[in-house]
Amino acid sequence: MLHAKRIEDRVEPLEACPALVLNADYTPLSYYPLSLWNWQTAIKSVFLDRVAVVAEYDRAVSSPSFHMRLPSVIALRDYVKPATHPAFTRFNLFLRDRFMCQYCGSREDLTFDHVVPRRYGGRTTWENVCAACAPCNLAKGGRTPAEAHMALANEPRRPTTHELQANGRAFPHRHCHETWRDFLYWDVTLER
Ligand SMILES: [Zn+2]
């Protein structure tokens, strides 16, 4: 078991040093949630030769026989084929709709709307649920968009993992180590 020296107060706690995990093609294993491993898992994988170290923190861990800088970016040796379709979760649904009300475009007070209301047999599926702000949800009530004279920005449908990841890139992660940026936002940076 590894133990870190905690002599310097100014250094970041180890818990604040997760490794960004890339697939073997150097794209993040996942954007949402961002694929991060804690330092213990990251180091164990390095020793098992399951990952290659791509970048490191300044922070190191030591034991009497061992000294190692913590990996900040690692890449799997074996490619993991991503799921074609993401899980149907509240977060993924918001991400599909880019955190925007599908009726008015607001980003405030987001809720979920059953496009075909449940009382008409509308189901809770990718194809029948969309992000809607609370005021639009209230205004629509238990009616269809046609009945309520409210137009949808996009017809709800099941997104691919690729589409969700593309949407995810538009929402920068709050905690992002400088060594991660090349792997997360290169396309965004180039556009600026
Ligand atoms: Zn709205």
Residues 6 and 153: their CA atoms lie apart, in Å, by: 53
**How far does residue 31's CA lie from ligand 1's centre (Å)?**
27
User: Could you give the CA distance from residue 109 to residue 6 in angstroms, rounded to a whole number?
Assistant: 43
User: What confidence score (pLDDT) does residue 84 get?
Assistant: 84
Does residue 95 contact residue 127 with C-beta atoms inside 8 Å?
A: no
Say which amino acid occupies 133.
C
User: Residue 90's pLDDT is what?
Assistant: 87
Q: Which residues of the chain have pLDDT under 70?
A: 1-11, 172-174, 185-192
* pTM, two decimal places: 0.66
Which residues keep their CB under 5 angstroms from ion ligand 1? Answer: 101, 103-104, 106, 133, 136
How far, in Å, is the centroid of ligand 1 from the Cα of 106? 5
Q: Is the dihedral of CA 84, 30, 169, 46 positive or negative?
A: negative
Going by C-beta distance under 8 Å and a sequence separation of 6 or more, which residues neighbour residue 125? 88, 158
130: helix, coil or strand? strand
DSSP letter, residue 50: S
Q: Which of 50, 43, 24 is nearest to 183 (CA)?
A: 24
Annotated domain spans of the chain: 14-83+174-191, 90-148
Mapped onto helix, strand or coil, the DSSP state of residue 57 is strand
CA of 153 to the centre of ligand 1 (A): 11
pLDDT value for 120: 96
Q: What is the pLDDT of residue 173?
A: 67
The fold of the 90-148 domain, in CATH, is DNA Binding (I), subunit A (1.10.30)
Predicted pLDDT of residue 96 = 94
